[in-house]
Amino acid sequence: MVMADLQDLRVSRLGDPRFDSPLAGFIGGRRTNEHYVSEDDRVLYHDTVSELAGLDGTAPAWPSFEPGGPRRRLFFEPGATTVGVVTCGGLCPGLNDVIRGIVMELALHYGIPTVTGFRNGYLGLTASGPEPATLTPESVDHINQHGGTVLGSSRGSQDPVLMVDRLVELGIDILLVIGGDGSMRGASGLVEEIARRGLEIGVIGVPKTIDNDIPFIGQSFGFVTAFSQAAKAISVAMVEAKSSIGGVGLVKLMGRHSGFIACYAALANQDADFVLIPEVPFQLDGPSGLLASLHQRVKERGSAVVVVAEGAGQGLLEGSTETDESGNMRFADVGLHLREAIGRHFVAMGSPLTLKYIEPSYSIRSVRAEPHDAVCCLRLAQAAVHAGMAGRTDMVVGRRHNRAIHVPISLVTSERNQVAPDGDLWMSVLEQTKQPVHMC
């Protein structure tokens, strides 16, 4: 991860605050310092003594984030602000939780009884898109009990000129965007067009990625639910493999560029014998390759389970030049390639093989959020509303060192959060699986 200086971490504001917050009635009176966030406070980028010791100057000059949370003074007037929300990209556990949290926070604490819900991603922000929904506390009351998003979603970008036209037409003051890195780049385009026109419209992101690959924000919502569900798929593969002659369970999980789901799922139930992730290249053939190592493991133990992230081993495959609606390169299917390669190898070795291939992607993406993620979603939703009402823009909410933080969109789209091949997470995977280090 690159070193970010203090200037990189500063968040844009629409202007100086103009209104008192109505939250005093909810959070005041319990102690002399009401639970507002100080505008002068910061959350440090670094978290170890050794890192801090290597910095020049004193604390005010150290890299740090603006803390999230309620402000004493607001830019937008409570009760007289129009807010929109949109969900973009693929499904992820917790989308409905975030929507519900936004609507409830605005209604109950800021006196804004309705929220405009744009349907089907950025398509809903164009004049030709579907009509927006009116979200109220009553209409969203139980949506967190279901997976998916009540607003629908879509991939792909839209013309920011047309989208800002729509925001102006509907009188939107704050737009809350729930989406991944591509969606955040789209939000950045909106900010640029809004600034070009000199408008006072805030754009706040709630970063969503099931792969946990957005940097600086801690764990993204939905990730815990995703690897918990993935761990169940690994358990199924283990049972199938152990119940068969020459049993091999092959589980393909999400993770185009980052192998966090594969790593955490493998550690959660400890049934995997091999874990393959995009960050760590591996050999397929030869005496030190995966196929020989897998064959030996099955020979010794009677069965084995292989977990592979979808972006692993792409250097071994013939890649595609096509892209999907979001502009992402379409990867070759490593799961099918491994299934065929394992089959050929065992035949060549004259060994019996019963291979069960499991790909649980959609059954993971579509489930409701588990309790840990549900709490995370609510707190991110509240932080996003507080930031929007305080006049922040061109930023996302996240958590760092167990504190809510504000991060510029340009920063979270500048790189990916990835598993460090020399880090403690990958070391834990190697310790647990006992897969040969020389295979990589």
DSSP 144: G
Q: Answer whether 320's CB lies under 8 Å from 329's CB.
A: yes
Contacts with 313 (C-beta within 8 Å, 6 or more apart), sequence order? 276, 281, 282, 284, 334, 337, 338
The active-site residue, picked from 173, 211, 213, 271, is 211
> Is 56 among the catalytic positions?
no
Between the alpha carbon of residue 20 and those of residues 72, 387, 393, the distances in Å are 6, 14, 19
Contacts with 111 (C-beta within 8 Å, 6 or more apart), sequence order? 22, 78, 79
Chain-centroid distance, C-alpha 230: 16
Contacts with 126 (C-beta within 8 Å, 6 or more apart), sequence order? 158, 159, 162, 163, 166
What the block records as the tokens of 135 is 């979200």
Contacts with 239 (C-beta within 8 Å, 6 or more apart), sequence order? none
What the block records as the tokens of 326 is 């979001």
The secondary element (H helix, E strand) that includes residue 348 is helix 334-348
Instruction: Name the residues annotated as catalytic.
Output: 211
